Amino acid sequence: MAIWQFGLDFIPLNVVRSNYEPLPITIPKKMAEDFPWWADVQPPTGFEAWIDGALSRTDSLSQSMRVWGKEGGDTAFVCYDDSAKSRVTWIGFRVDVRQLSRAFVSSICMLGGRLECLLLTSTYHLLTPEEAEILGAINISVAMNYLRDPVATLRSLKPTATEIIPLPQKIPPKDQ
């Protein structure tokens, strides 16, 4: 995901409710990334046509994924458990804040409402599929801050210890 994109993943509302009461504002990272949100719930057949109405389909590098939009721009992704695309495992969207399209945000909200989903941000906040709530979250996001002040935003991003991967050290040749 590009720094100027705002990520939203669909999570079925009834699955969140079965795991949390009351509904949380955020979900722990491990739960958000590792829990099989779509294992027991599936969107209706043909739901991809609703995405077709917002973005054009594009080629995917994976046979178990469908992609819409342009890389680095407004995009949508649906991952399936196999190449037959019979069971959804993930539905995600990326909003390009450089050219913020309210129509695209509205389409995401409409689909989220139809599928009875909450929207999970890349900072693990749960949002309802309401345009004002999504636009408010975008307005305070890293993506929007990057547009306002790229240098300060990049300087503010500090990797955690788990994100820092040391490069291998060059081993000097042994004397022969």
Query: Domain range holding 67?
Result: 5-150
pLDDT digits (tens, 9 = 90+) for 55-68: 999 999 888 999 99
Q: Is residue 133 part of a domain?
A: yes
Q: Is residue 58 part of a domain?
A: yes
Q: Is residue 128 part of a domain?
A: yes
Q: Is residue 68 part of a domain?
A: yes
Mean predicted lDDT score pLDDT of the chain:
90
Which helix (DSSP H) or strand (DSSP E) does residue 77 occupy? Answer: strand 75-80
Q: Is residue 136 part of a domain?
A: yes
Establish how many alpha carbons lie within 13 A of residue 49's alpha carbon, considering only the half-sphere containing its beta carbon: 3
As a whole-number percent, the residues of the chain with pLDDT over 90 amount to: 70
| Residues 97, 93: Cα–Cα separation, whole Å | 12
Q: Is residue 41 part of a domain?
A: yes
pLDDT digits (tens, 9 = 90+) for 111-124: 999 999 999 999 99
Q: Is residue 95 part of a domain?
A: yes
pLDDT digits (tens, 9 = 90+) for 121-176: 999 999 999 999 999 999 999 999 898 988 888 888 776 655 555 555 556 667 65
Report the pLDDT value the prediction gives residue 84, as an integer from 0 to 100.
80
Report the pLDDT value the prediction gives residue 157, as an integer from 0 to 100.
79
93, 8 contact by CB (below 8 A):
yes
Q: Is residue 171 part of a domain?
A: no
70, 43 contact by CB (below 8 A):
no
Other beta carbons within 10 Å of 54: 20
One-letter amino acid of 92:
G
- The tally of domains found in the chain comes to 1
State whether residue 40 is helix, strand or coil: coil
Q: Is 38 exposed, middle or buried (0-12, 13-18, 19+ CB in 10 A)?
A: buried
Per the listing, tokens 């739960």 go with 31
pTM of the model: 0.84
